[in-house]
Amino acid sequence: PNPNPKPKRNPHPATNLTLNLSPTPTLTSTKELIPTLNLTRTERVWSGIEKLFRAEVFERLHGGNASLGLGSAGLGLGPGSDSGMRLRDVFGPYVPLMFSWTVIHRSPNERGKDKYPKEFLNFLSSNLRRYVLYITAVQNDLGLVGRRELPHNKFPGSNILVLSSGGYGHVPIPLFPKPQSHMTPALNTVPMAERRYLVSYVGSHKHAPHDMRGKMIRAIDNASAALNLTTLAHYHGGEWKNIMANSKVSLAPRGYGRTAYHLLECIQAGFIPVHVFTDVPWVPYEDIFREHIGYVVEVEAIGGLLEELAQLGDAALEAREASVCRYHESHFTPNAVMNQISALMRGLPHDLQCVRLPETIQG
């Protein structure tokens, strides 16, 4: 062994996380579960849907300027709501947990690994109740459980419905990328018949387990050669927008989690996405996605999809691309997603779909 081992670099060297938690003997609302977080980082933590699953958003959905008595804490409905609305009027049978799970989990332990602070876990275990049905939204690709710190088969967890944009939970929802001005929903200006590539992939060949993206790239190259198709299995550079604009279909393989930011980036830009998965597909509104928006394929079956796409006419692809733009406005903007979540909680018609909890966290 090396007598002078090189110390491992802490991936979050400037993180200071302070949790001030005050457990209460009895809980009248989930407002009492809010921790006070003082977080200083050299890098900003993007928490996507967790930034939307907030009190002020639900207040806007239910009356605009009306106050629901949520206050700045952002959880639950207090007994003194000025509008007269009750918890079940907004959240149905659920009690919402509006924690920034991803931010809280990004507090590295002494080994430099992300982990929930012990104080936070103890607080949840002491205060959440077994007979209450909770609901929460999580972006982390490790889901709510983190590094198996909150297993779903134990309390707390078995009575928490998890809306997951990262790939481990009960209801797939869109994984929002950071706001980017270059992603504007609009029909592609290049006519379908003039596009050079049947399919293309612009992005990293890494960032997925078990060399999944590498397998996808090799499978595309092999199938393209066998079927005499013009594709671009991998491109990572400054001309990626032009590559996508000259492609009839855009590949969006999963990442370390069961989905990837690129899936919604494709939809935001008005391109037809192909979700490439390994063990379990993770796309929001799966029935609508498969019928009107994109394609879903296991990495081992990518060759068969290429053959199917090659047989489709340009008119069919143009119609699907137009459908992508329509569904972007109704299902994939922040307001649209929150309206879908609100309808799910209150038992109203919606297009979100519950799925069986995957057998593994990341696949």
- Distance from C-alpha of 213 to C-alpha of 206, rounded to nearest angstrom: 6
One domain for residues 280 and 307: yes
pLDDT band per the 50, 70, 90 thresholds, residue 303: very high
Classify residue 183: in a domain, yes or no.
no
One domain for residues 344 and 296: no
Classify residue 53: in a domain, yes or no.
yes
One domain for residues 223 and 129: no
One domain for residues 291 and 201: yes
Residue in the structure block whose two tokens are 């078990």: 210
pLDDT tens digits, one per residue of 318-340: 999 999 999 998 999 999 999 99
Burial 4-18 (b: 16+ CB within 10 A, else e): eeeeeeeebeebebe
Classify residue 155: in a domain, yes or no.
yes
pLDDT tens digits, one per residue of 240-288: 989 999 999 999 999 999 999 999 999 999 999 999 999 999 999 999 9
Residues 6+ apart with CB under 8 A from 324: 267, 270, 271, 272, 273, 293, 294
Classify residue 157: in a domain, yes or no.
yes
One domain for residues 296 and 308: yes
Contact 251, 274 (CB under 8 A): yes
Contact 83, 67 (CB under 8 A): yes
Domain with residue 235: its CATH number is 3.40.50.2000
- Distance (Å) of CA 275 to CA 136, 140, 220, 269: 25, 19, 14, 16
One domain for residues 98 and 205: no
One domain for residues 199 and 326: yes
Residues 6+ apart with CB under 8 A from 293: 267, 272, 273, 320, 323, 324, 327
One domain for residues 57 and 165: yes
One domain for residues 315 and 226: yes
**Edge to edge, what strands does the sheet with 171-172 contain?**
95-97, 134-138, 160-164, 171-172
Lowest mean pLDDT among 12-26, 133-147, 190-204: 12-26
One domain for residues 300 and 348: no
Classify residue 307: in a domain, yes or no.
yes
Q: How long, in residues, is the chain? A: 363
Classify residue 70: in a domain, yes or no.
no
Classify residue 22: in a domain, yes or no.
no
- Distance from C-alpha of 90 to C-alpha of 6, rounded to nearest angstrom: 54
The residue that leads in pLDDT, 105 or 296, is 296
pLDDT band per the 50, 70, 90 thresholds, residue 108: low
38 has pLDDT over 60: no
One domain for residues 137 and 149: yes
One domain for residues 151 and 252: no
Domain assignment of residue 197, given as a range = 192-332
Number of domains composing the chain: 2
